[in-house]
Amino acid sequence: MREEQLIHQTKLLKLAALEKENIRLRALLENSFKLGEQVLVAELLSINTEPYEHIVVVNKGTRFGVHPQQPVLDANGVVGQVFRALPLTSEIMLITDPNHAIPVQVNRNGLLTIAVGSGQLNRLVLPYLPSNADIRPGDLLITSGLGGTFPQGYPVAVVDEFTSQPNKAFATITATPKALLDRNRELMIVWSDSAPVPFISKPTVNEAEDKTHADK
């Protein structure tokens, strides 16, 4: 009796997990339609969130047409961009990586600036705004479209701190990413309307051999 109860509880837990996964996938799909872009859903394989390197690996690569600098999103906002694309996998640099910078604008007034990774998974910094800049906690930051990597209008972060210091030219401004960077299992790799998702090519002999060795 006890064994049957444990089996039943395990099945219920699995069903609950599947339901949550379906909710996440549905949110991704709904967000892709709102974007008006073509997307490819990729699953997370591994995470590296050391202080000076925020990189995740997903299960889609050049065989699916993925290439460096493509935007990557979740259902809530910008996650990062493709850093390196291999035949079967891709490395994604998160927006919180200290080597990552993304052109943004304040949704309220259009103020343009750059959001830079802080090395902390839940924080961005805006180091280039003067102390008298028209920005305040609660302001939504979206992609500005400048730089050519991220199309305009994607949610990036919400400002959570603004500190003006009279003896310094620039204010101390931090923001919290909209994307759930520490809770994603599926991500969206984005193509613009002018660059449609290509047909998936068949693996070459070398790629097939690499896949066979990887599975062993």
Task: Write down the domain spans for the chain.
Answer: 2-94+183-194+207-215, 101-177
User: For tokens 């202080």, what's the residue?
Assistant: 51
Joined tokens for residue 34: 């709102």
Q: Which of 74, 116, 113, 105 is nearest to 92 (CA)?
A: 74
Centroid of chain to Cα 149? 13
Please name the amino acid found at residue 155: P
Rg (CA), the chain: 20
Write down the pTM of the prediction: 0.76
Residues 61-71 have pLDDT tens digits of 999 999 999 99
Per the DSSP assignment, residues forming a β-bridge with 40 are 189
The CATH H-level (homologous superfamily) assignment of domain 2-94+183-194+207-215 is Rod shape-determining protein MreC, domain 1 (2.40.10.340)
Per-state percent for the chain, helix, strand, coil, to nearest 5: 20, 35, 45
Q: How many CA atoms lie within 13 A of 58 on its CB side?
A: 32
- Asked if the domains 2-94+183-194+207-215 and 101-177 are classified in one and the same CATH topology, the answer is yes
The CATH topology of domain 101-177 is: Thrombin, subunit H (2.40.10)
- Residue 113 CA to residue 103 CA, distance in Å, equals 6
> Could you count the other beta carbons within 10 Å of the beta carbon of residue 65?
19
Residues 117-148 have pLDDT tens digits of 999 989 999 999 999 999 999 999 999 999 88
Residues 92-119 have pLDDT tens digits of 999 999 999 999 999 999 999 999 999 9
Contact (Cβ atoms closer than 8 angstroms) between residue 188 and residue 40: yes
Q: Which pLDDT does position 2 carry in this prediction?
A: 52
Who wins on pLDDT, 164 or 82?
82
Residues 37-55 have pLDDT tens digits of 688 999 999 998 787 899 9
Please name the amino acid found at residue 37: E
* Residues whose CB is less than 8 angstroms from the CB of residue 66 and which lie 6 or more positions away in sequence, other chains included: 40, 60, 82, 85, 90, 189
CA-based torsion, 77, 146, 100, 92: positive or negative? positive
End-to-end CA distance of the chain: give it in Å, rounded.
40
